Amino acid sequence: MTDENGREPVAASTPEERIANGRAARARVQRSTHGEWTPPADRRSVVDQLAEQETTRVQSLVPIRHERMAVSPFTFYRGAANVMAADLSGEPDTGLQVQLCGDAHLANFGGFATPERTLIFDINDFDETLPGPFEWDLKRLAASFEVAGRSNEFSDRERRTVLNAMTLSYVRAMHEFSLMSNLDIWYTRLTTDDLAKRWGTGKPEALLANFRRLVAKAETKDRLKAMNKLTTVTDGEVRFRSDPPLLQPVSEIFSSSEQQELHDTVVHSIATYRRSLQPDRRAVLERYRFVDLARKVVGVGSVGTRCWVALMMGRDGQDPLFLQVKEAERSVMEPYLGASRYQFHGRRVVEGQRLMQSSSDIFLGWDRVPGVDGRDHDYYFRQLWDWKVSAEIDTMTPIALTVYAQACGFTLARAHARTGDPIAIAAYLGGGKSIVRAMRRFATVYADQNERDHAEFVSHLAAKEPASVTT
């Protein structure tokens, strides 16, 4: 009997059968095959692929996306998840299914707070999540470290060390999870203390000091800091600041009638979105009232999607709650892996996040909302800042990036072990030598292609008339 995604439940098989299944996958797809990739003869122009994705986005914001992607091959890679999904679709499939992040590059990992107020390290972006073969995430992560290493001007040897560390960390973690009970896997999380214990021993004091600084910084990036940075007091009322085009109150974007329509829609949506929360969390949210709304530009690849930030107020003027309301569109992997089983893409994102993360935001939920453009849009909701911290990748030394790679490899393996069959995947991976070589080769050839794609993209932008960002 298969589950809703067409997969055989792993509990229906013995560990021996699951090991046999993993080894049988080697016959279908040899591990060395993962290192072989060449662009197909009919590969579409990246300019065309990105332009097609942008047709549903806010057109006045698209130039910001272009500007950010044009900065370097690394920023281009971050925004080109749809390009890589198309490239991976022609590759052999191991058949070892997991819940994929879908955009598992190294900048989509970071620190945030659990409901118990513990700072943990985890994947933090699930816009493209969908079930699929585990190797898709692993390849995207591997290539991102090669691209970042080149951006930081690391030597060939330094980049090899980073890639080896990431892949071996994934392999060893998967073997570790293959020996654990289902509940122990589910309870596993990576706290900042765990990070220091696992990979900080024997490292230079400067590296550890920088790590402690990031942890301390994370614990100050909360709703009160958001209030100080994003809002101002107007006529005695807290309202969002104006910082166009990155942060714009709705009063600057829409007419008076549209503002009232949007206000009513937001109030209604916050009420209906509550139904996607657990009852206890719904009760907390109901203690807050909606105050203001602004459009906020975030990320690289997400720029142009409709992203709002809602200001809620609780017991007094020092009890704010900021909800990020982010549009969820079709996953870039759906044309190749099949449509999501969920009707609403906001729910697709939320369910995937809950499956893969060791702990998720208490206000994580979804809704479908009518827009002022006359169309319905899918959204997911979460707190804007909650001890959030991102790695400063462009300033990392080779040693620091190697440690970070190990943390990312472990974290991705844990997410895959929660949602797939760690015994079968561990059996497929074996000792790690073959898959390490394959990931290193793949990362190199794909980083080469990414540089060509970036050059094509920059050349295309240079040939166009300069575009100004308007509201």
For 379-405, write each residue's pLDDT tens digit: 999 999 888 888 899 999 999 999 999
Per-residue model confidence as pLDDT tens digits over 421-462: 999 999 999 999 999 999 999 999 999 999 999 999 999 999
Query: Is it the case that residue 471 has pLDDT exceeding 50?
Result: no
Percent of the chain whose predicted confidence (pLDDT) is above 90? 78
Pick the range with the lowest mean pLDDT from 42-56, 130-144, 211-225: 211-225
pLDDT at 389: 82
pLDDT at 4: 54
The string of DSSP codes covering 134-188 is HHHHHHHHHHHHHHHHHHTT--HHHHHHHHHHHHHHHHHHHHHHHTS-HHHHHH-
pLDDT at 236: 86
pLDDT at 8: 59
Task: Give the mean model confidence (pLDDT) for residues 221-245.
Answer: 91
Which band of pLDDT confidence, cut at 50, 70 and 90, is reported for residue 468? very low
Which band of pLDDT confidence, cut at 50, 70 and 90, is reported for residue 262? confident
Which band of pLDDT confidence, cut at 50, 70 and 90, is reported for residue 470? very low
Per-residue model confidence as pLDDT tens digits over 451-465: 999 999 999 999 985
Query: Is it the case that residue 61 has pLDDT exceeding 70?
Result: yes
pLDDT at 391: 86
Task: Give the mean model confidence (pLDDT) for residues 146-173.
Answer: 98
Mean pLDDT of the chain: 92
Query: Is it the case that residue 298 has pLDDT exceeding 50?
Result: yes
Q: What are the Cα distances from residue 223, in Å, to 171, 262, 284, 310?
A: 38, 24, 15, 12
Query: Is it the case that residue 6 has pLDDT exceeding 60?
Result: no
pLDDT at 3: 57
Per-residue model confidence as pLDDT tens digits over 9-22: 676 789 999 999 99
pLDDT at 213: 85
**Which is nearest to 196 in space by CA: 266, 133, 285, 120?**
120
Per-residue model confidence as pLDDT tens digits over 314-336: 999 899 999 999 999 999 999 99
Tokens (6 digits) for 389: 């911290």
Contacts made by residues 107-111, CB under 8 angstroms, sequence distance 24+: 107/78, 107/144, 107/390, 107/391, 107/393, 109/391, 109/407, 109/408, 109/411, 110/388, 110/389, 110/390, 110/391, 111/192, 111/214, 111/215, 111/218, 111/387, 111/388, 111/389, 111/390
Task: Give the mean model confidence (pLDDT) for residues 333-357.
Answer: 97
pLDDT at 206: 82
pLDDT at 366: 97
Query: Is it the case that residue 1 has pLDDT exceeding 60?
Result: no
Task: Give the mean model confidence (pLDDT) for residues 103-130.
Answer: 94
Q: Which residue's entry shows tokens 């065309």?
A: 48
3-class SS at 376? Answer: strand
